[in-house]
Structure 1
Amino acid sequence: MSRLGESWDNDDVRVRPSRSTRPRTKNRPRHSDALSGFVVTVDRGRYTCLVEDGTRRERLVTAMRARELGRRAVAVGDTVELVGETDGSIDSLARIVRIGDRRSVLRRSQDDSAEAGAGPGGEKILVANADQLVVVAAVTDPEPRPGFVDRCLVAAYTGDLDPVLVMTKTDLADPAPFADAYAALDLPVLTIGRATGRALGPDDLAAVRDLVTDRVSVLVGHSGVGKSTLVNALVPDADRATGGVSGVGKGRHTSTSAIALRLPGGGWIIDTPGVRSFGLAHVTPDDLLETFDDLLPGTVGCPPGCDHSGPDGGEGSTGAACALDAWVAAGHATPERLASFRRLLASRGTTDY
């Protein structure tokens, strides 16, 4: 409303330009000058990448994730492309603008979805592009926990990694009773002497070297089982912390961040921190079943909603029987394989860490 004695016309009206008139483009920068890198460690939003330029000389470059990647996570083992300050000098910071396709992923669901690095639903990628998951467990001190090993196997099977079980301290107790539980899975089991308190014997070290040479291997295990001792023996300059076990038999955490270490004979070891939990909320029964080729065809006759957890078809089924029991009874798979599948399936909801 104009004040008395004043006249207004259209020139007095300020028109704000609409959003549609602002120049915008969907064309992203090509980054044709980007350098390829390999992520060796992640620390609070900063990524240390091994970069090789045209002179074939390697250097470590610290980088951050570019905004154009959105919420896509970067993990140890990723192949990435970097731009910006890629000379590796002190206080320089490059940008990761692309992440290569992943051939495997080791992931877990967090107990606390607000944990740093966790995506929607609390899911976190730990390692990318590894060939095998080496689960390290001691025969005693601390006692092996089958629930934890089972959950690691589920993560390996559903993430396209080859699982291997390494049992340490076999000079203190017989590993056979624990290892026999995995015989139906055709799980490779490597047994070595005491991996803490003294250096590994030459035969033990040679066996571990044969396992990891020319491959990308992720090592997981509770603190106190000798995982870091194995890493230090394989990579003498790794300088990873090793520690003992507390008086109550629970390992105390001595490594704090995942890191990729180059093996002198070829390949990489990715050492992970002591693990308190290995959540698998992101894994469905069908995800796990895809890795059991001998059982998968038998599910054709399963009722709708069958979760394959038992003969009755599970909580969500229509009440009809799970077809896997009849499939095994017909001789298409062994009862031990079905029992192992259902044990791994049940481990997704356990808290045996």
Structure 2
Amino acid sequence: MSWLTDVDDDDDDKYADFEARVRPNPKGSRARTKIRPEHSDALTARVLAVDRGRYRVLIAEGTDDERDLTTTRARELRKEAIVTGDRVDVVGDTTGDEGTLGRIVRIQPRDTVLRRSADDTDEVERVIVANADLMLIVVAAADPEPRPRLVDRYLVAAFDAGIRPILIITKTDIADPEPFLANFAGLDLTVVKSSQDAFPLAELRSLLSGNTAVAVGHSGVGKSTLVNALVPDANRATGDVNAVTGRGRHTSSSSVSYRVGTGWIIDTPGIRSFGLGHVDPDNILKSFTDLAEVAEECPRGCTHLPDAPDCAIIERVEEGRLGEFGAKRLDSLQRLLATLT
């Protein structure tokens, strides 16, 4: 007889009232879903600073109820970069009281994004700041020596992002800046000059009015000193230039936004290299609107570099048909394009 049928009647009675234990679902009984809450009650905020998974944001900007608070990110945003300058939607405790923590649930569409890559061969981009209108490229006339090719890279990144570059040259009381500025004579570039201890603050505040500017420059050029002059309570750390290497010491460790009148300035850590592996060369040409119009007559695939055959821009310059600064603008364009190649 099978063991399945060889069961005593008494055994049936023994198990009649037995209740099997059902292992509870540790994740709850509700089925998982990809449908996320709409968070219709979320408040819009500006990201002021990022520090180890915490985000300081400003809510109700420009109103009597304006306040800043600390937030974290929602789980669904864990793979997305949230950077200084972002506009985000925040829920949770938004009182800003000490010890409270809000939660970022959405990143709003960005107007501009400033990026860089590890090097020119790396197409993986790193977002530096979002929604900047201006790039303040801070360069010292001396101590440390200015680096024209690094400035070229900043310009390429600005043009690619659709951000207006402004060149701020410091320490003009130490060295004549004109030889350095001659490298950029062909560009329609606003230049602001300052001595080591005196910035033209009225001019700078006028440029920043109603705009968000990101300040870039390698260490030791006076970038944090500029921020402290515009925002006295910023207290950004400043450092000296190493007498042996001629390089500045990194003093700013993170990007932070500061209000300047009706505008904002974002101070960034000193950057000694600026990879451009992510940049589209067509965006560089678009920034030279006069040359871009002529380039429509170029053969397909024209690089506009000195060895490019039948380049309409080169031909116009050689014929003297692009005005007094045509040759200088072409030289600037070619130098920036060569930076990418």
Q: Tell me which residue corresponds to 2:247.
A: 250
Instruction: State the distance in 1 between where 2:255 and 2:322 align.
Output: 41
User: Match for residue 190 of structure 1?
Assistant: 192
Match of 1:316 in 2: none
Per-residue deviation, residues 20-40 of structure 1 (Å, max 9, x unmatched): xx9565543110110111000
Paired amino acid for 1:207: E
Counterpart CA distance in 1 for 2:172 and 2:46 is 36
Matched, 1:103 2:111: yes
Asked whether 1:260 is paired with 2:257, we answer yes
Match of 2:212 among 210, 216, 219: 216
Residues 39 and 80 of structure 1 are in contact (CA less than 8 Å); yes or no, is this contact kept in structure 2? yes
Match of 1:136 among 124, 135, 138: 138
**Counterpart pick for 1:50 among 50, 53, 58:** 58
Aligned-residue Cα RMSD (Å) equals 2.6
What's 2:335 paired with? 343
Deviation at 1:272, TM superposition (A): 0.8
Give the match for residue 227 of structure 2: 231
Q: Which sits farther off after the overlay, 272-281 or 136-145?
A: 272-281
Counterpart position of 2:314: 325
**72-81 vs 58-67, which deviates more?**
58-67
Distance 1:112 1:181, change over 3 A: closer
Report the alpha carbon displacement of residue 57 of structure 1 after superposing the two structures with TM. Answer: 2.0
Q: Is the 8 A contact 2:186 2:330 kept in 1?
A: no
Q: Give yes or no for contact 2:218–2:270 (8 Å, CA) kept in 1.
A: yes
Matches of 1:131 and 1:194, distance apart in 2: 26
TM-score (structure 2 length as normaliser): 0.83
Distance 1:277 1:132 in 2: 20
Identical-pair percentage: 52
Distance 2:337 2:191 in 1: 21
After superposition, the Cα gap between the structure-2 partners of 1:241 and 1:148, relative to the gap in structure 1 and judged at 3 Å, is same
Where does structure 2 lack aligned partners over 5 or more consecutive residues? Answer: 6-29
Q: What one-letter code is carried by the residue in structure 1 that aligns with 2:170? A: T
For residues 9-59 of structure 1, what are the alpha-carbon distances to aligned partners after superposition, in whole Å with 9 as ceiling and x for unaligned? xxxxxxxxxxxxx95655431101101110001122221101129983222
Structure 2 match to 1:12: none
Contact 1:35–1:53 (Cα < 8 Å) also in 2: no
1:292 is the counterpart of 2:292: no
* Aligned residue number for residue 13 of structure 1: none
* Structure 1 residue 342 displacement after superposition: 1.0
Task: Flag the structure with larger Rg.
Answer: 2
Using the alignment, how far apart are the partners of 2:303 and 2:99 within structure 1?
Answer: 53
Deviations 1:75-109 (A, max 9, x none): 11111111123222344332211222222221111
Q: Which residue of 1 aligns with 2:17?
A: none
Partners of 1:53 and 1:187 in 2: CA distance? 31
How many equivalent residue pairs? 312
